[in-house]
C-alpha cells in the first residue's frame, strides 16, 4: 500500500506554495502541485484526483472551499480538504480547519498536512478493501478463508484429497493452519462420520509417543496400571493427524513406517497384532528434505508420507486474504463471546493488512478475538490494536542463504523494501533503522522505484 500522497496546494503566494511543496517532498516524499487560482485547482482535480487539497480561507465563507469540496465529493471520496484560517466553512466531512501561518512555518504546516495525507490514504486503501470484501465472496470451506490464488489452490487440493486415499503431508510455518486443513480434509471425506484424532509428535518423548500411538498393556512399564488402546485404534475407520512429524524420534519413525505399510499395530508390552484402517495425515514446519539429507529423518518414511502434499504459505505472502480473515474471525469471536462488534475501521484494517504476522493466522485469530472481547459493541479502531501492530519496527527477516548471487544494489533494495514494510511505510522510522538520512532514503526509494 502506497504511503505517498498527491497533494494539491492552492496558493496566492507562489513562493510560499513552492516552499511548502519542497518541505512536503523532501521530508515526506509526497508529490505536490502548486496552482494559483480556483479554476486551475478545479482543472487539476479533474485531471488527477488528489489525496489532500490545501487552500486558504481568504474571507468568511471561504469562496474557494465550497467549489473544491463539491468537486472532491463527486470524484475524490477519500480526499481531505485543508482550509487555513478561521472563515465559516460549508458543511462537509472532508474539510478540516488548520489555524497555521503557512508562510512563516512551512515545516509545522507540512507536518499537519502529512498527517491528513496518511488518513486520506488509509481511507482510500480501505475503501478498496471493503469493496473487495463486498464484491469477491471468500472461500470458507471448513474454516479455510481467503481469495488469494494460494488459498484457492489449497481448497482444490483439499477437495481432491478428500476423494483419494493417499497419505497427506501438509507443509507450512507454525500458525498457518495446517491442523485446520487436515480437519477440512477429514470432514470432506467419506471418513467424516468416523473419529479424527490428533497427536503432537514434538511434545512427547519416544517411549511416551509409542504408547500414545500404539497403546500399551498393563504392566508394560512403570505406571502402566491398565491397558490403553492408543490413537491408531481410537481412530480406526477415521483419520489420525500427526502434527510436527519432523520432530519424531528416528526409532519411532521406523515403527511408524511399518504401521503405514502393513496397517498393523502392536501395543507396547504385547505380542498381539491388530489390523487398523486409519488414514494418516502429517504436518511439519521443518524442511523434511533437508532433515533427510542431515539424517534426522528417514528417507523411506519421507517418501511414504509425501504422497499428497499441500503447502501452506505464510500470511505475509497472501496479504490480500487478511481483510477476509479479519471479517471471518470477527464474526466467529462475536459468536463465541456473545459480543456484537460490528466492524473494523478503515485505519485499523490497513494496519492489520500491513503487519508482518510472524505468528501467521494463529496470531491474527488471537488478536481479533481479544479485540472483540475488549471493544464489545463498538467497532475496532486503530488505537485498539497492540503496539507491535500500530508501530512495529521489527525488520522482516531475510534468509542469508537467499542473498547469495545478488548484487549489492539488489540487497540494498531488498532491505529498504522490507524495512518500509516492517515500519508500515513510516519513512522516518525506516531511515533510523537503516542508519541513513531521511533524504538519502527518499533518494533510494526513487532510485529503486519503491
For 268-296, what is the HEC assignment?
ECCCCCEECCCEEEEEECCCHHHHHHCCC
Per residue in 329-388, pLDDT (tens digit) is 999 999 999 999 998 887 888 889 888 898 999 999 999 999 999 998 899 999 999 988
- Rounded to whole angstroms, what are the CA distances from 313 to 84, 151, 266, 366? 49, 9, 37, 19
pLDDT of residue 422: 64
Question: What is the rounded CA–CA span in Å between residue 238 and residue 440?
Answer: 61
Cell 481568504 found at: 58
For 296, residues 6+ apart whose C-beta sits below 8 A from its C-beta are 250
Nearest Cα to 267, choosing from 205, 224, 223? 224
Nearest Cα to 328, choosing from 354, 300, 356, 352? 352
User: What are the DSSP E strand ranges found in 206-346?
Assistant: 239-243, 264-265, 274-275, 279-284, 308-312
Task: Check: CB of residue 444 under 8 Å from CB of residue 412.
Answer: yes
pLDDT of residue 280: 97
> What crossing angle do the helices spanning 14-28 and 106-135 adopt, rounded to 10°?
60
Which positions of the chain have pLDDT values less than 70? 1-3, 57-64, 85-104, 126, 128-140, 392-408, 410, 421-424, 429, 432, 435
Which residues of the chain are in CATH 3.40.50.300 domains? 143-312
Q: Is 376 helix (H, G, I), strand (E, B) or coil?
A: coil
Task: Check: CB of residue 281 under 8 Å from CB of residue 239.
Answer: yes
pLDDT of residue 94: 52
Question: What is the rounded CA–CA span in Å between residue 124 and residue 109?
Answer: 23
Instruction: Give the CATH number of domain 143-312.
Output: 3.40.50.300
Which residues of the chain are in CATH 1.10.10.60 domains? 400-448
Per residue in 313-327, pLDDT (tens digit) is 999 888 888 888 998
Q: Which CATH class is domain 6-133?
A: alpha beta
CA contacts within 13 A on the Cβ side of 354: 32
Q: Is 395 helix (H, G, I), strand (E, B) or coil?
A: coil
Task: Check: CB of residue 143 under 8 Å from CB of residue 131.
Answer: no
Instruction: Give the CATH number of domain 400-448.
Output: 1.10.10.60
And the C-alpha cell for 384? 485498539
pLDDT of residue 133: 56
Q: Whole-model pTM?
A: 0.62
pLDDT of residue 397: 42
The number of beta carbons lying within 10 Å of the beta carbon of residue 392 is 21
For 437, residues 6+ apart whose C-beta sits below 8 A from its C-beta are 431
And the C-alpha cell for 101? 501561518
Task: Check: CB of residue 416 under 8 Å from CB of residue 3.
Answer: no
pLDDT of residue 402: 45
Of the chain, the end-to-end C-alpha distance in Å amounts to: 11
CATH 1.20.1740.10 for domain 321-390, yes or no, is no
User: What are the DSSP E strand ranges found in 153-297?
Assistant: 168-172, 196-200, 239-243, 264-265, 274-275, 279-284
The helix (H) or strand (E) run that includes residue 211 is helix 206-214
Amino acid at each position: 500500500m502506497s504511503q505517498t500522497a498527491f497533494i494539491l496546494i492552492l496558493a496566492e503566494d507562489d513562493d510560499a506554495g513552492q516552499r511548502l511543496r519542497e518541505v512536503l517532498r523532501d521530508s515526506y516524499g509526497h508529490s505536490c502541485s502548486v496552482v494559483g487560482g480556483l479554476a486551475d485547482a478545479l482543472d487539476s482535480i479533474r485531471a488527477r484526483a488528489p489525496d489532500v487539497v490545501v487552500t486558504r480561507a481568504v474571507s468568511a465563507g471561504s469562496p474557494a472551499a465550497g467549489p473544491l469540496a463539491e468537486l472532491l465529493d463527486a470524484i475524490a471520496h477519500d480526499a481531505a480538504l485543508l482550509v487555513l484560517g478561521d472563515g465559516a466553512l460549508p458543511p462537509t466531512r472532508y474539510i478540516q480547519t488548520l489555524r497555521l501561518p503557512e508562510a512563516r512555518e512551512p515545516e509545522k504546516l507540512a507536518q499537519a498536512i502529512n498527517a491528513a495525507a496518511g488518513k486520506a490514504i488509509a481511507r482510500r486503501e480501505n475503501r478498496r478493501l471493503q469493496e473487495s470484501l463486498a464484491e469477491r465472496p471468500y472461500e470458507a470451506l471448513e474454516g479455510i478463508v481467503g481469495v488469494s490464488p494460494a488459498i484457492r489452490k489449497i481448497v482444490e487440493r483439499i477437495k481432491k484429497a478428500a476423494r483419494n486415499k493417499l497419505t497427506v503431508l501438509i507443509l507450512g510455518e507454525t500458525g498457518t493452519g495446517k491442523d485446520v486443513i487436515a480437519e477440512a480434509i477429514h470432514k470432506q471425506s467419506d471418513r467424516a462420520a468416523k473419529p479424527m484424532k490428533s497427536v503432537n509428535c514434538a511434545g512427547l518423548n519416544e517411549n511416551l509417543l509409542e504408547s500414545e500411538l500404539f497403546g500399551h498393556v498393563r504392566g508394560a512399564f512403570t505406571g502402566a496400571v491398565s491397558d490403553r488402546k492408543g490413537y491408531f485404534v481410537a481412530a480406526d475407520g477415521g483419520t489420525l493427524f500427526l502434527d510436527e512429524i519432523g520432530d519424531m524420534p528416528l526409532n519411532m519413525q521406523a515403527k511408524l513406517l511399518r504401521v503405514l505399510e502393513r496397517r498393523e499395530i502392536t501395543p507396547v508390552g504385547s505380542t498381539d497384532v491388530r489390523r487398523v484402517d486409519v488414514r494418516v495425515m502429517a504436518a511439519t514446519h521443518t524442511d523434511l528434505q533437508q532433515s533427510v539429507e542431515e539424517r534426522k529423518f528417514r528417507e523411506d518414511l519421507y517418501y511414504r508420507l509425501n504422497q499428497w502434499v499441500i503447502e501452506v504459505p505464510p500470511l505475509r505472502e497472501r496479504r490480500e486474504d487478511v481483510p477476509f480473515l479479519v471479517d471471518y474471525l470477527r464474526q466467529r469471536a462475536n459468536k463465541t463471546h456473545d459480543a456484537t462488534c460490528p466492524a473494523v475501521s478503515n485505519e485499523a484494517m490497513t494496519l492489520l493488512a500491513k503487519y508482518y504476522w510472524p505468528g501467521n493466522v494463529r496470531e491474527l485469530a488471537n488478536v481479533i478475538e481479544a479485540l472483540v472481547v475488549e471493544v464489545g459493541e463498538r467497532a475496532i479502531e486503530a488505537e485498539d490494536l497492540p503496539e507491535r501492530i500500530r508501530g512495529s519496527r521489527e525488520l522482516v527477516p531475510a534468509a542469508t542463504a537467499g542473498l547469495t548471487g545478488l548484487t549489492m544494489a539488489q540487497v540494498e533494495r531488498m532491505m529498504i523494501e522490507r524495512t518500509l514494510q516492517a515500519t508500515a511505510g513510516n519513512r522516518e522510522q525506516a531511515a533510523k533503522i537503516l542508519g541513513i538520512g531521511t533524504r538519502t532514503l527518499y533518494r533510494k526509494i526513487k532510485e529503486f522505484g519503491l
